[in-house]
């Protein structure tokens, strides 16, 4: 598939699977008391908020790896700026379907680069008064540390290279690759 387009595999399918299980175990342990407290029910389930479209693959695998009842919500946002760097000015293309007041919310992200999108999203969701708000990202790039966004769960710290696969795209392609890889320069040419 996509013969010749992928220069190198950065994270293999097996590594993604192992890390997803590891993160799921951590999250389940941290939330076990909150979501299984007195009077558990639909309103106390952990609420995963995935950011479309990149986080879809990770979100669905992560949700299935979590030994907790979870509910799934999705948001679509677009950040103003060039195609390759975000400005931090964000527009909501698709909002959550329900109120998150009083809910334990975990944002599920594919990748954090400048962190500007996430920083905006955190503030936006925080203003809706959830019981708690944390972030779980599969990938994190070096620049992310420059922005003061608390990211509790991180899968892999990767070098500052453009990556595709497992939800991540270049011009909407390569999302269906089961691994994370770097693109061959010939693709940009
Ligand atoms: P910021 O910079 O606000 O933006 O953290 C994060 C968003 O930028 C996209 N992004 C990438 N997409 N390969 C991609 O396919 C990459 O290497 C990459 N780096 C950043 C992505 O949409 C992410 O949510
Ligand atoms: Mg993208």
DSSP one-letter string for 111-146: EESSSHHHHHHHHHHHTT--SEEEEEEEEE-GGGGG
* pLDDT at site 188: 84
CA 13 to chain centre: 17
CATH number corresponding to 6-188: 3.40.50.2020
Among 144, 155, 150, 88, which residue's Cα sits nearest to residue 114? 144
Q: In sequence order, which residues have a C-beta less than 8 Å from that of residue 18 and are 6 or more positions away?
A: none
Instruction: State the ligand closest to the CA atom of 151.
Output: 1
Model confidence pLDDT, tens digit, residues 22-75: 999 999 999 987 775 555 566 689 999 999 999 999 999 999 999 999 999 999
Could you give the ipTM of this predicted complex?
0.91
Establish whether residue 134 lines the binding site of ligand 1, counting it when its CB lies within 6 angstroms of any ligand atom.
no
Is residue 139 pLDDT above 60, yes or no?
A: yes
Going by alpha carbons, the residue nearest to atom 2 of ligand 1 is 114
Closest CA to 155 of 86, 70, 77, 55: 55
pLDDT confidence band for 145 (50 / 70 / 90):
confident
């Amino acid at each position: 598939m996509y013969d010749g387009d992928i220069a190198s595999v950065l994270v293999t399918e097996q590594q993604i699977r192992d890390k997803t299980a590891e993160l799921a175990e951590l999250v389940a342990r941290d939330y076990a008391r909150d979501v299984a407290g007195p009077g558990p029910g639909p309103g106390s389930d952990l609420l995963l908020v995935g950011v479309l479209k990149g986080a879809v693959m990770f979100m669905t695998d992560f949700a299935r790896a979590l030994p907790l009842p979870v509910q799934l919500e999705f948001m679509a946002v677009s950040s103003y700026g060039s195609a390759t760097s975000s400005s931090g000015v964000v527009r909501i293309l698709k909002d959550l379907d329900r109120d998150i007041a009083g809910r334990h919310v975990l944002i599920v992200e594919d990748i954090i680069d400048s962190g500007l999108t996430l920083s905006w999203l955190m503030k936006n969701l925080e203003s809706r008064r959830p019981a708690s708000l944390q972030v779980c990202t599969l990938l994190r790039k070096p620049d992310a540390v420059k922005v003061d966004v608390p990211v509790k769960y991180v899968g892999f710290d990767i070098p500052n290279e453009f990556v595709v696969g497992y939800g991540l795209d270049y011009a909407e392609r390569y999302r269906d690759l089961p691994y994370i890889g770097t693109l061959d320069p010939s693709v940009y040419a």
